[in-house]
Homo-oligomer: A and B are copies of this chain.
Amino acid sequence: MAKVDTSLVAHLPLFAGVKPEELDEILREARSARYPKNTAIFEQGADAQSFFLLLHGHVRAAKTTPTGEQIVVRYVAPGETFGLAMAIGSAHYPATAMAVDDSVVLIWPTSAWPRLIERFPALAANTMQTVGKRLQESHTRILEMSTQQVEQRVAHALLRLANQSGKKLDRGIEIDFPISRQDIAQMTGTTLHTVSRILSGWESQGLVESGRQRIILREPHRIVVLAERNPDSGAA
């Protein structure tokens, strides 16, 4: 089994309130694995045999409709868990997880979960927090989709990504993994065409700098303004 240094993960929210020696015991139940860029980690609908903790890289969780359309549920950043189907009482993964960058994960068998939470109740509590937070974020997203127009939603989405996985550059904040217009469209409930138009517009105003699967926010402040502006407060 791969040996994982406890000190690397001890500070993660998942392990809050867990003693070092306990942590060791928890980690012994896990194995680690590497997923190259653009490989699937699990597929929507598959048996939930494992749950995961992302150590390095980035993972996209996406849900597909019967008719084939996709939405991005979220991007998983290092230190976050994913594939928690079993914790919420589902035997199957409700979404597909895909490494968008070379990624390293810890993997526990689903079967270990009951034992783990019995022995380490903090794990259950922490997971509850996490799931609750995600629920709130979902509601916020629904609120946005209901009340804001596309440009504002895209602004919000980018700011969130920058916040979660932004790399500070001197010319701005770069989103630290490959992300296409299509991806952003699937996060905001629009089309890649519309996203492209919006980003083009922003680029010509110097708000962002962007290229192939790459986005740098040059003026986060002014983007915040866009995100919050009332639909009818006209700009020159």
A residues bordering B, Cβ < 8 Å? 63, 65, 67, 69, 71, 73, 84, 87-90, 94-95, 118, 121, 124-125, 127-129, 131-136, 138-139, 141-143, 145-147, 186, 189, 230
User: Which chain B residues lie closer than 8 Å to A138 at the CB level?
Assistant: 135, 138-139, 142
List the B residue with the shortest CB-CB distance to A69. Answer: B147
User: Which chain B residues lie closer than 8 Å to A131 at the CB level?
Assistant: 88, 128, 131-132, 135
Q: Do B71 and A132 touch across chains, with their CB atoms under 8 A apart?
A: no
User: Which chain B residues lie closer than 8 Å to A71 at the CB level?
Assistant: 142-143, 146-147
Q: Do A146 and B145 touch across chains, with their CB atoms under 8 A apart?
A: yes
User: Which chain B residues lie closer than 8 Å to A89 at the CB level?
Assistant: 128-129, 132-133
User: Which chain B residues lie closer than 8 Å to A230 at the CB level?
Assistant: 67
Q: Do A132 and B87 touch across chains, with their CB atoms under 8 A apart?
A: yes
| 8 Å CB contact of A135 from B125, B135, B146 | B135
List the B residue with the shortest CB-CB distance to A124. Answer: B124
List the B residue with the shortest CB-CB distance to A188. Answer: B146
List the B residue with the shortest CB-CB distance to A133. Answer: B88
Could you tell me the distance in whole angstroms from the C-beta of A82 to the nearest C-beta in chain B? 13
- Which among A135, A138, A189 has the highest number of chain B CB atoms within 10 Å? A135
Q: Do B88 and A129 touch across chains, with their CB atoms under 8 A apart?
A: yes
List the B residue with the shortest CB-CB distance to A65. Answer: B147
List the B residue with the shortest CB-CB distance to A138. Answer: B138
Could you tell me the distance in whole angstroms from the C-beta of A205 to the nearest C-beta in chain B? 24
Listed by A's residue number, 22 A-B pairs whose Cβ atoms lie within 8 Å are: A63-B143, A67-B230, A71-B146, A73-B142, A87-B128, A87-B132, A88-B128, A88-B129, A88-B132, A88-B135, A89-B128, A90-B136, A124-B128, A128-B128, A128-B131, A131-B135, A135-B135, A141-B142, A142-B189, A145-B145, A145-B146, A146-B189
